[in-house]
Amino acid sequence: MLVRQLTPSDAASFVSLRLAGLKECPASFASSYEEEASRSLHDVEKQLAADRGQGVFGSFDGTRLVGVAGLGREHPRKLSHKAFVWGVYVTPDMRGRSISRALIAELIEFARLTPDTTQINLTVNANNELAVRLYESLGFEPFGLERNSLLVDGCFHDEVHMSLKIDRQTAS
């Protein structure tokens, strides 16, 4: 299984997978299918262009994109030491193969190589126990529970806030 940073040439595959994830698991994402379906391919290509300290990573089964995870950056100067995980999704037929683990491990390594990144934050649906355990196994620690964080189809969902301090001594 190949894991690599996506480029603008991956935009169409990324959009297809992202929209599938938003439809299948709406309570797992802050964004909605309706918001993202109207985005232009050009906007997605710009999003996937190399940008210091952030990017979208994909896992490929042959040439098929089967998993994605994004690493964003906070932009205000006082928050710029922090990165955040977003948009983690693996196609249903490829789950149970440690693809999410490989993607998050790649994001962590990428963050370690960005000198001014000192921590990575994420939020995860509190009912997604598998994801919470995965993040904990990779060193993320919970630091809060946000009640009613998401409102999806009239139902509230709680989210666990987690953080990982970047340890540069283990960077390879």
Residue 113 CA: distances (Å) to CA of 21, 73, 95, 160, 172? 29, 14, 28, 26, 9
Q: Supply the angle between the helices 11-24 and 41-48 in degrees, to the nearest 10.
A: 100
CATH code of the domain in which 105 resides: 3.40.630.30
pLDDT for 171 equals 46
Strand 119-125 to 141-152 pairing: unpaired
Mean pLDDT of 76-88: 94
Query: Average pLDDT for residues 105-111, to the nearest whole number?
Result: 96
Asked whether the predicted pLDDT for residue 103 surpasses 60, the reply is yes
130 lies in which domain range?
2-170
Query: Order of strands across the sheet with 64-73?
Result: 2-5, 55-61, 64-73, 82-90, 119-125, 155-165, 141-152
Per-residue pLDDT of 70-79, as tens digits, reads 999 988 889 9
Q: To 10 degrees, what angle do helices 99-112 and 129-137 make?
A: 40
pTM of the predicted structure, to 2 decimals: 0.92
Number of domains the chain is built from: 1
**CA proximity to 58, closest of 25, 9, 128:** 9
pLDDT at 167: 77
